[in-house]
């Protein structure tokens, strides 16, 4: 019995047929079923019958053997740096537990997504190998430094492989910490590579094409709809994950996506290394320089103030729930409507401001902007020293405040000013 054989595996009352794959442990068999899914089976509890030998060539090198991918260089191709932080796009199934686990490094992604071959020269590096719920500001700093180094070394674009749960926060962090003249494109997948409905290939291909294009945005590139026809390019400071599991989970808040990548056109026109400009339709003009500057030379300001919290107001909440905010450098409040909290909380906010905490107001509403000049509560909040963040998304506002407190002499003024497309001058209907 060898990898590549078609087998029938009986385990109790369950029978599975498929192609035997290499396993990362001696205790488990891995079988690819007809529907495309892989299943891990306890070897000792299974009876195995070989139905046909060598029905498929299976390479036993790679992740299981610990071999590194070999990447060739073609001077006629653009160079794209692939930076991995983990997540589902760079994951596999742990057949001991049945859970999806981040395992691949950036070079393994090339082996797992052969469609990327010939589109660019790739440099791969790993900044972290975590599930994105474990993302921390210290890793944002490491990521910003890695991107800056790759751009300084001549990368024409950067693709960051990232888990989807906190991708919007990391994209915001790089938009504020970096000023680079090339694209930085975040991508990931909602479904792991062993699933027939996986979105990893299309997202990766579209992200590479977006990283080869002529702009300097920090973007999130994910499925634009439920079908495998296009990816949306969302500005990193205006995007939100709005669904737990759909492949088109990400949306630009308050506008259409910045651009759309036609997957079929990208597949055909980008595979020879050319920039697939025809594949990208921009809904608005993308930025030609990085988020917090205007120069062509890459610059970095990666310091972040970690003592910043995002606090959500809800009706009936115990004011003591905000005790943990005392002594923080900054607090972003997710208020209701135009930016409101219960009037009983206003004295607590005033005390925070008097103690030196920068307090910023955002809204729980998905669209529209904070305006605390309409109702009495809002006017009292302004008098207490609260800073309005306009239509900046709450998560983006937290990251921006972390950056502003560490890098700006006037954090309050920075929070009222647009740095990287996070704050619009005027909210306008767009549907």
| 14 contact partners, CB below 8 Å, separation of at least 6 | none
Please tell me the distance from the alpha carbon of residue 125 to that of residue 230, in angstroms, as a whole number. 27
398 is catalytic: no
- 381 CB burial (10 A radius; 0-12, 13-18, 19+): buried
Give all strands (DSSP E) within 28-179, no chain letters.
Answer: 28-33, 38-42, 47-52, 79-84, 91-94, 99-102, 121-126, 157-161, 178-179
Closest CA to 399 of 409, 388, 378, 414: 414
Contact 408, 303 (CB under 8 A): no
400 is catalytic: no
- Measured in residues, the chain has a length of 431
Catalytic residue among 5, 179, 237, 241: 241
Closest CA to 371 of 383, 357, 385, 361: 361
Catalytic residue among 5, 108, 165, 199: 165
Closest CA to 280 of 213, 377, 349: 213
164 is catalytic: yes
Please tell me the distance from the alpha carbon of residue 327 to that of residue 325, in angstroms, as a whole number. 6
Catalytic residue among 88, 187, 218, 377: 88
Catalytic residue among 79, 85, 164, 177: 164
165 is catalytic: yes
Residue 315 φ/ψ region, left for φ over 0, alpha for ψ in the -120 to 50 degree band, beta for the rest: beta
Closest CA to 368 of 218, 220, 255: 255
CA angle, 18 then 19 then 21, to 5°: 130
| 239 contact partners, CB below 8 Å, separation of at least 6 | 168, 171, 220, 250, 251, 252, 253
The residues carrying an active-site annotation are 88, 164-165, 241
């Amino acid at each position: 019995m060898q990898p590549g054989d078609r087998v029938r595996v009986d385990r109790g009352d369950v029978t599975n047929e498929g192609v035997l794959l290499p396993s990362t442990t001696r205790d488990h068999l891995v079988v690819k079923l007809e529907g495309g899914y892989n299943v891990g089976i306890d070897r000792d509890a299974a009876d195995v019958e070989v139905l046909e030998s060598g029905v498929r060539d299976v390479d036993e090198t790679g992740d299981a053997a610990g071999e590194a991918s070999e990447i060739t260089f073609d001077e006629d191709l653009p160079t794209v740096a692939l930076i991995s932080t983990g997540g589902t796009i760079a994951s596999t199934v742990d057949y001991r537990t049945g859970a999806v686990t981040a395992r691949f490094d950036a070079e393994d992604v090339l082996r797992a997504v052969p469609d990327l071959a010939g589109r660019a020269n790739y440099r791969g590096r790993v900044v972290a190998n975590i599930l994105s719920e474990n993302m921390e500001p210290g890793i944002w700093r490491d990521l910003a430094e890695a991107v800056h180094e790759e751009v300084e070394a001549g990368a024409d674009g950067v693709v960051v492989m990232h888990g989807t749960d906190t991708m919007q926060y990391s994209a915001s962090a790089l938009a504020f910490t970096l000023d680079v003249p090339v694209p930085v494109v975040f991508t990931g997948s909602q479904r792991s590579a062993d699933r027939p409905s996986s979105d990893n290939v299309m997202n990766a291909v579209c992200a590479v094409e977006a990283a080869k294009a002529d702009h300097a945005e920090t973007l999130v590139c994910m499925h634009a709809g439920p079908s495998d026809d296009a990816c949306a390019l969302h500005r990193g400071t205006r995007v939100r994950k709005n669904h737990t599991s759909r492949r088109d989970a990400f949306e630009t808040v308050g506008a259409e996506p910045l651009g759309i990548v036609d997957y079929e056109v990208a597949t055909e026109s980008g595979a020879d290394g050319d920039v697939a400009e025809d594949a990208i339709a921009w809904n608005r003009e993308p930025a030609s320089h990085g988020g917090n500057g205007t120069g062509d030379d890459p610059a970095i300001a990666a310091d972040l103030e970690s003592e910043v919290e995002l606090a959500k107001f809800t009706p009936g909440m115990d004011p003591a729930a905000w005790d943990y905010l005392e002594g923080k450098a900054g607090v972003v409040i997710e208020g209701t409507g135009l930016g409101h909290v219960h009037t009983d909380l206003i004295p607590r906010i005033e005390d925070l401001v008097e103690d030196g905490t920068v307090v910023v107001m955002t809204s729980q509403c998905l669209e529209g902007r904070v305006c605390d000049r309409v109702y009495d509560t809002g006017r009292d909040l302004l008098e207490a020293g609260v800073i309005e963040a306009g239509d900046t998304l709450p998560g983006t506002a937290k990251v921006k405040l972390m950056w502003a407190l560490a890098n700006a002499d006037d954090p309050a003024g920075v929070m009222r000013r647009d740095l990287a497309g996070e704050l619009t001058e005027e909210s306008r209907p767009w549907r």
